[in-house]
Amino acid sequence: MYFDLGETLVHTADDGSIGYQRGAASYLRALRERHIKVGLITNVPPSWGTTDTERAARLREEVDATWRGPVPFAWEDFADRIFTPRAETERKPAPILWQRAKTASGHCRVVYQAETAEEVTVASSLGFVPYQVNRPHRPAFLPAGLIELFGHRSR
């Protein structure tokens, strides 16, 4: 299961502070309880490092520096599953980040959740189960129980 970060799991307020989107912390907890691995596919400046690990570390610094709220962001849930652009040409909506994430996931079914229709459309075209978050008359996130069922179906 992969997410976009900004305005999907976290929200940047007018004052520049960052915190969880409504329901995101409890949603991540529900995924964790079901042993569903999560990752991020997110745009950051390629200049933040030469590897995904370096760019992810800088992303964490940036988010943590302006974080608000009693519960810190659950970075430990994402392990080494944070995919970032190596060059400006890899920035979403270019398909390369989804391709890299899918390759790293092996033969698992992969889900992608984001706030923009454009991103979920690209993810869908690459074989991800897409879900656009925070849409009216739908759950804010794809139900965790449904994602768990995807893991039990063969590809």
Q: What are the residue ranges spanned by the domains of the chain?
A: 2-152
- CA atoms in the 13 A half-sphere facing the CB of 3: 23
Asked whether the beta carbons of 3 and 114 are under 8 A apart, the reply is yes
- CATH 3.40.50.1000 for the 2-152 domain, yes or no: yes
Residue 152, pLDDT score: 57
Contact 9, 21 (CB under 8 A): yes
Q: pLDDT tens across 26-55, in order?
A: 999 999 999 999 999 999 999 999 999 999
Torsion of CA 127, 133, 139, 141, to 10 degrees: 70
Q: Is 30 exposed, middle or buried (0-12, 13-18, 19+ CB in 10 A)?
A: middle
What global pTM score does this model have?
0.94
Q: Please give the structure tokens belonging to residue 129.
A: 């189960």
